[in-house]
């Protein structure tokens, strides 16, 4: 409990210092984490998997991922924020479920667009705050998601409910152009590849979890 509180405080501190890349005032709830990992949870345990988490933050979704990993799996995490990298590394050293998968897990501190891998992933799970980014960056990140995902793999990411629709109405000028472009980019991917959308009301703020199939 004390460790969870420390992580929440650290998350809020990074939110205040780096809102553009942190994007939320609190870590994801266990309900959102359960949705983000629902396809991974339904896996065949006999088949080795490659799992990539992008923007894990302090690790609320990671904590759900590690519960579903098997010894033959590969787990990579891409996190840009050095304070979050420190917290994640500490959790792999200290928490039993995390320690159990430490040898098959690797944290990479760099922008996801620069991340290179020897093979694509069965699951890509992203917590990046896309609505905070420039539209061109969102386009690049979305392309990176599918570059890293196997054709039959599953991409799961979340976005806070109604943020883009509301911003498209209430903003003007460059901000309205930016948010409209982001909405167009992500809606095109959803129209083409979406499997399911989950409504997660028990989260701060409430969120949609989008699940897309690779192509």
pLDDT in tens, 107-166: 999 999 999 999 999 999 999 999 999 999 999 999 999 999 999 999 999 999 999 999
Kindly report, residue by residue over 52-109, the tens digit of the pLDDT. 999 999 999 999 999 999 999 999 999 999 999 999 999 999 999 999 999 999 999 9
Work out the pLDDT band at 23, boundaries 50, 70, 90: low
| Helix, strand, coil percentages, rounded to 5, for the chain | 50, 20, 30
**pLDDT-above-70 percentage for the chain:** 88
Q: What's the token pair of residue 132?
A: 């905070």
Q: Taking the domains of the chain in order of start, what are their residue ranges?
A: 2-213
User: How is domain 2-213 classified at the CATH fold level?
Assistant: Rossmann fold (3.40.50)
pTM: 0.88
Average pLDDT, the chain: 91
Q: What's the token pair of residue 87?
A: 């917290």
Class of residue 81 by CB neighbours under 10 A (exposed 0-12, middle 13-18, buried 19+): buried
Work out the pLDDT band at 25, boundaries 50, 70, 90: low
């Amino acid at each position: 409990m004390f460790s969870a509180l420390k992580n929440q405080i650290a998350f809020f501190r990074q939110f205040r210092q780096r809102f553009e890349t942190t994007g939320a005032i609190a870590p994801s709830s266990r309900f959102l984490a359960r949705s983000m990992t629902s396809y991974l949870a339904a896996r065949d345990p006999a088949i080795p998997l490659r799992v990539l988490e992008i923007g894990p933050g302090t690790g609320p979704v990671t904590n759900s991922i590690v519960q579903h990993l098997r010894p033959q799996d590969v787990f990579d995490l891409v996190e840009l924020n050095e304070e979050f990298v420190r917290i994640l590394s500490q959790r792999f050293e200290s928490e039993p479920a995390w320690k159990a998968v430490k040898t098959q897990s690797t944290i990479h501190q760099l922008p996801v667009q620069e991340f290179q891998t020897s093979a694509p992933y069965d699951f890509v799970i992203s917590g990046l705050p896309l609505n905070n980014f420039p539209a061109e960056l969102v386009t690049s990140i979305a392309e990176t998601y599918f570059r890293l995902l196997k054709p039959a793999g599953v991409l799961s990411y979340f976005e806070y409910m109604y943020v883009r629709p509301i911003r498209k109405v209430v903003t003007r000028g460059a901000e309205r152009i930016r948010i409209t472009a982001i909405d167009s980019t992500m809606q095109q991917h959803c129209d083409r590849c979406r499997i399911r959308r989950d409504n997660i009301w028990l989260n701060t703020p409430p969120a949609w979890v989008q699940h897309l199939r690779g192509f």
